[in-house]
Amino acid sequence: MDWMTWYASLAKPSWTPAPATIGLVWQILYPLIVVSFGFVFLQTIRGRLPKTTAPPFAVNLAANLLFTPIQFGLRNMPLASVDILIVWATIVWMIAVIRRHYAWVAAAQVPYLIWVSIATVLQLSITAMNW
């Protein structure tokens, strides 16, 4: 069965956003992520930020990119739940390390943190409902 049929067959909370809403939110967030992460990586490479600033951004990027293959490729709900918890934790870590250097980058992560907080509760709920 294809991934869309598989996902549609899962038990989900009544408040689960429609797929179109999820897609729209990511269309808004990804440009914020690209600009802010690119800025952090560039400033780190140029030596304008301590090298300790980049790791939470790198871990977050990797975990974010791995979520879809884990969730929809492997269809491994528990591992996807761990992955999204890593995404959430690294956003908090990113905000903590960047805010004193570039407050705008920290502020740009707030919508991302809000959305991933919702997505984390959703993922954990779906995992529990389908365990």
Within-domain flag for 1: no
Amino acid at 1: M
pLDDT at residue 1 is higher than 90:
no
Confidence (pLDDT) at 131: 87
Domain presence at residue 63:
yes
Coarse DSSP helix, strand, coil percentages of the chain, rounded to the nearest 5 percent? 80, 0, 20
Q: What distance in Å separates the CA atoms of residue 24 and residue 67, rounded to the nearest whole number? A: 17
d(CA 21, CA 118): 13
The count of domains in the chain is 1
pLDDT digits (tens, 9 = 90+) for 44-88: 999 999 999 999 999 999 999 999 999 999 999 999 999 999 999
| 71 half-sphere exposure, CB direction, 13 A CA radius | 22
Q: Which of 51, 52, 53 is nearest to 37 (CA)?
A: 53
- Burial tier of 41 (Cβ tally within 10 Å: 0-12, 13-18, 19+): middle
For the residues 11-25, what does the mean pLDDT come to?
Answer: 96
Q: Taking residues 12-31, what's their average pLDDT? A: 96
Give the residue numbers spanning the domain of 99: 19-129
- Residue 33 CB neighbour total at 10 angstroms: 18
13 assigned to some structural domain: no
In a domain, 83, yes or no: yes
